[in-house]
């Protein structure tokens, strides 16, 4: 098995193990996997900041990521801690308003699966079943993220 084949299988396994992408067909997962890249990040490294353009969606493969929702220059003091299998960076899937509303930073060394948001939106447009499924998941993700921050 070549490295490219092993990488593709690894990306597929990661995607299928998440709640967000888990219910998709093999074909749909393969299409999304083609848009993905594994990325290593160091402890304390910032992934994105409030107000930045949102172009990527992320899946935590290894490590812990802290999300701190902000408004303007202010951020929540605590934040939500994300672990293996958690999806974040959903603003990349909201094209009308795709700016970051949170700051994401690595609490430990992390491995992240990055997914190009514009390309994923294109897939969703071409495959309406995929689009409906992911928009339903996106609705749950946004609701749970904002509920977690509101609840403290």
Query: Mean pLDDT over residues 70-86, rounded?
Result: 70
Residue 8, both tokens: 């593709």
Residue 125 makes CB contacts below 8 A (sequence gap 6+) with: 131
First to last CA, the chain: 47
Q: Which CATH code is given to the segment(s) 3-151?
A: 2.60.120.10
> What mean pLDDT comes out for the span 60-89?
80
Question: Each residue of 14-71: pLDDT tens digit?
Answer: 999 999 998 899 999 999 999 999 999 999 999 999 999 999 999 999 999 999 876 5
Q: Is residue 138 a contact partner of residue 89, using CB atoms and an 8 Å limit?
A: no
- Which has the higher per-residue pLDDT, 6 or 13? 13
């Amino acid at each position: 098995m070549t490295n490219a084949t092993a990488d593709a299988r690894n990306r597929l396994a990661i995607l299928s193990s998440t709640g967000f992408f888990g219910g998709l067909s093999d074909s749909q997962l393969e299409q999304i996997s083609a848009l993905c890249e594994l990325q290593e990040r160091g402890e304390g490294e910032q992934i994105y900041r409030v107000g930045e353009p949102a172009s990527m969606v992320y899946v935590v493969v290894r490590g812990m990521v802290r999300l701190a929702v902000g408004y303007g220059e202010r951020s929540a003091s605590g934040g939500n801690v994300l672990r293996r299998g958690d999806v974040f960076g959903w603003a990349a899937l909201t094209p009308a308003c795709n700016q970051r509303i949170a700051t994401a930073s690595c609490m430990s060394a992390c491995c992240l699966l990055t997914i190009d948001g514009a390309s994923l939106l294109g897939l969703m447009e071409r495959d309406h079943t995929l689009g409906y499924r992911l928009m339903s998941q996106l609705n749950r993700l946004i609701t749970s993220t904002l509920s977690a921050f509101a609840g403290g």
